[in-house]
């Protein structure tokens, strides 16, 4: 597969290099000023004589009329898909500009889950693995171990994974056959359509699809611990890698915004699953 171009987007405050620190620079200056934001590391590993961190952005809003909703957003598991990484950081920046939208939420964003792949522009990690086939299979890959520990400790109510597909014709998502996922993805794809069309093909990435929704999924993808009950909503959102970088970021931020806005209406439903 051809890796997507990583374009400069200085006007958006996005990184123009494959340096995770540069990607996070727009948030780094805010962390000391804003009580809603904390920046840290989910964990690190040594490779090639260097320490590599999986950065973690935590955002917490004021109380709302419901229990705290914990959402995990994961980007860059494939290192050659920097659009999701930039979108995750920009989504955090936008929420900080309108913190009322964070009410009742605790968002944990992992913008660079494959740090060596991000720096190299490679899909695989430093160990040569496709990390999105390694989850809950006793993987030895440090990125997977770090993320599995986060997923187990935080017991998210919702998990959103951001990806880029350089063979598709528009935005689409995986519902994994769950009704709640479908109910959240449909409006998210509609919101994203303000920037990029939906992939309308009947087969996407080898799976049967309808209106940009795929029910099936690969095995070993990033997901909640198998024994977590109730299982969270669990969405994979894909943008077309051949589209302009900025439009992919815009479409992803629009989808994330939609999911966060829509989900509180489904809490009662989710608890019944």
Closest CA relative to residue 130, chosen from 144, 119, 120? 144
Residues recorded for the chain? 273
Subset of 112-171 contacting Zn ion (CB under 5 A): 163
Considering beta carbons, is residue 95 or 143 the nearer one to Zn ion? 143
Considering beta carbons, is residue 96 or 253 the nearer one to Zn ion? 253
Looking at beta carbons, which pairs linking 50-53 to residues 24 or more positions away fall under 8 Å?
52/115, 52/116, 52/126, 53/20, 53/115
In this chain, which stretch among 59-67, 73-81, 96-104, 136-144 interacts with Zn ion, using CB under 5 A?
73-81
Residue pair 181/159 in contact (Cβ under 8 Å)? The answer is no
Give the helix ranges, DSSP H, for 135-193: 142-154, 179-192
Which residue in the set 6, 18, 52, 78 belongs to the binding site for Zn ion (CB under 5 A)? 78
**For residues 91 and 42, what is the distance between their CA atoms, to the nearest angstrom?**
19
In this chain, which stretch among 14-22, 75-83, 215-223, 229-237 interacts with Zn ion, using CB under 5 A?
75-83
Shortest distance (Å) from residue 78 CB to Zn ion:
4
Shortest distance (Å) from residue 242 CB to Zn ion:
14
Residue 75 exposure: Cα atoms within 13 Å on the Cβ side: 30
> Between 81 and 110, how does the x/- string for binding to Zn ion read (CB under 5 A)?
x-----------------------------
Considering beta carbons, is residue 57 or 168 the nearer one to Zn ion? 168
Shortest distance (Å) from residue 79 CB to Zn ion:
9
List interacting residues with Zn ion (CB under 5 A).
Answer: 78, 81, 163
């Amino acid at each position: 597969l051809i890796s997507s171009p990583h374009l400069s987007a200085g006007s958006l405050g996005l990184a123009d290099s494959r340096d995770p620190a540069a990607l996070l620079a727009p948030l780094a200056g805010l962390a000391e000023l804003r009580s809603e934001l904390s920046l840290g590391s989910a964990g690190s590993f040594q490779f090639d004589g260097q320490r590599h961190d999986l950065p973690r952005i935590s955002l917490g809003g004021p109380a709302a009329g419901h229990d705290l909703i914990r959402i995990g957003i994961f980007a860059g598991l494939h290192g050659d898909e920097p659009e999701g990484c930039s979108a995750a950081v920009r989504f955090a920046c936008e929420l900080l500009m309108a913190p009322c939208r964070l009410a009742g939420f605790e968002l944990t964003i992992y913008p660079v889950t494959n740090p060596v792949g991000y720096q190299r522009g490679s899909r695989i990690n430093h160990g040569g693995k496709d990390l999105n086939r390694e989850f809950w299979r006793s993987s030895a890959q440090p990125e997977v171990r770090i993320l599995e520990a986060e997923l187990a400790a935080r017991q998210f109510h919702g998990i959103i994974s951001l990806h880029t597909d350089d063979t598709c014709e528009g935005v689409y998502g995986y519902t994994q056959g769950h009704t709640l996922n479908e109910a959240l993805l449909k409006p998210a794809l509609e919101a994203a359509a303000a920037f990029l069309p939906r992939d309308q093909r009947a087969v996407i990435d080898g799976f049967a699809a309808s209106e940009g929704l795929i029910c099936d999924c690969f095995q070993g993808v990033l997901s909640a611990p198998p024994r977590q009950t109730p299982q969270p909503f669990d969405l994979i959102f894909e943008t077309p890698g051949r589209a302009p970088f900025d439009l992919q970021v815009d479409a992803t931020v629009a989808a994330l915004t939609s999911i966060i806005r829509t989900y509180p209406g489904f809490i009662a439903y989710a608890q019944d699953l």
